[in-house]
Amino acid sequence: MKRVVVTGLGAITPVGNTVNEFWENIVAGNSGVAAITKFDSSKFKTNFAAEVKNFDAEAYIDKKEIKKYDLFTQYAIASSDQAIKDSGLNFEEMSEAERYEVGVIWGSGNGGIGTFEQQLKDFHLGDGTPRFSPYFIPKMILDIAAGVISIRNKLHGPNYATVSACASSNTAIINAFDTIRLGKATVMVAGGSEAAITPSAVGGFNAAQALSKRNDDPTGASRPFDVSRDGFVIGEGGAALILEELEHALKRGAHIYAEMVGGGMAADAYHLTGTPPDGLGASLGISKALADAGISADQIDYINAHATSTGLGDIGELNGIKKIFKDIPVAISATKSMTGHLLGGAGAIESVISILSVKHDIIPGTINTETLDPEIPQGLNIILGKSIQQPVHYVLNNTFGFGGHTATSIFKKYTS
């Protein structure tokens, strides 16, 4: 099969609206969590989130066009534009036949939930006469981000959306990886975005007892693995990767960040929203990813854990890791402690972190965690506090979603 490399990155996140700003804040251990500004949350159980700050849609989209796109699509456009520019690819100079070989796969768990919510609100506040925007449906549907990216760049290759809750964007990246190595495309734009800091999403997750209610300490609320964790912090944003067939990248002299070498997907088949305490889904996804990459567990240097800061979720994942890695002291950290949980966009921004970890030989730390839960299996090398500098040849990125979805990707330092 063909080798696949990463040649471009883009990111719009709660801790930075460029890849460099994002990475600098992750390495520094800065939190992107603060009081919710997108709506009045005073009557909600949770009053904080990890919002994107100072996002300027007009830097990427014509002012007249913005109204056509839900915020999740705006994040998709911005991050994919960044990644395409970073890759050095110029689609305008490509022939139509060449653009037949370039595709887009984009993940989101909720799509245009903000648009859906606002349109129904406007309808119910009216006299009952249907007055819906002609943009309502195309703004709301989850596949539209992938479609818009392809339309803007005239890309005719495989084009679709992946929906596997909080595993959505990692699933998109794995599918794009498979598409290239099977020879069905030369270049793929892959990633995910989410814009679900809305009353219905916050209220729904509150009702499910999933969100932290640490309103007196928002920046310290996302505390994976900590004995006092009380739920995740909802976040928003998006990230994009340019995945490229190696020979195509070398021929044009592209800068290569890393090589993608494996992906594993599974289901824990356990519960609507919960994960099994024994970590079955996690261990299955990890073992499949390792087998796909053709490597053993002792070759992994760093695991970017899904670790949302929920009670059962964190323990289940670590039990799954322990089942595969046993006494191997692989470094583990939870960057959601800084970014919050981007739901369907989580796998994409954490892939960017994983790739940059390989490139710079830096393992980000886990902030806020003070006292490890005694239920955590012994012998795990969880990196707390500051980032550490050490060689990173292989990194593994875990994501899990409501419904039991598991997606695990593996990146390695590129060598010819």
The reply to whether 4-251 and 262-412 are identical in fold is yes
Is residue 416 very low, low, confident or very high in pLDDT (cuts 50, 70, 90)? confident
Average pLDDT (292-296) is 98
Res 47: pLDDT? 98
Cross-strand bridge partners of residue 397:
304, 409
Asked if 192 and 163 count as a contact pair (C-beta separation under 8 A), the reply is no
Res 275: pLDDT? 86
Nearest Cα neighbor of 380 from 312, 305, 308 is: 305
**What mean pLDDT is reported for the chain?**
97
Q: Which residues contact 75 (CB under 8 A, 6 or more apart)?
A: 12, 52, 55, 193, 194, 195, 236, 237, 238, 345
φ, ψ (nearest 5 deg) of residue 211? -90, 145
Residues 147, 107: Cα–Cα separation, whole Å = 12
Pick the CATH number of 4-251 from 3.30.70.100, 1.10.1760.20, 3.40.47.10, 1.10.3720.10: 3.40.47.10
Res 166: pLDDT? 98
In whole angstroms, what separates CA 121 from the centre of its chain?
29
Nearest Cα neighbor of 9 from 251, 257, 179, 347 is: 257
Is residue 273 very low, low, confident or very high in pLDDT (cuts 50, 70, 90)? confident
Cross-strand bridge partners of residue 260:
4, 411
> What share of the chain has pLDDT > 70, as a percent?
100
The upper half-sphere exposure of residue 298, i.e. CA atoms within 13 Å in the direction of its Cβ, equals 2
Average pLDDT (21-32) is 98
Asked if 107 and 342 count as a contact pair (C-beta separation under 8 A), the reply is no
Domain ranges in the chain are 4-251, 262-412
**CATH number of the 262-412 domain:** 3.40.47.10
Helices (H), 136-245: 136-140, 144-153, 168-181, 199-207
What does the block give as tokens for 178? 């498979």
- pTM of the predicted model, to two decimals? 0.97
Which of the following is catalytic: 9, 84, 105, 166? 166
Residue 390: CB atoms within 10 A of its CB come to: 13
Res 84: pLDDT? 98
The upper half-sphere exposure of residue 275, i.e. CA atoms within 13 Å in the direction of its Cβ, equals 33
Q: Is 71 a catalytic residue?
A: no
Q: What is the pLDDT of residues 151-188, one digit of tens each?
A: 999 999 999 999 999 999 999 999 999 999 999 999 99
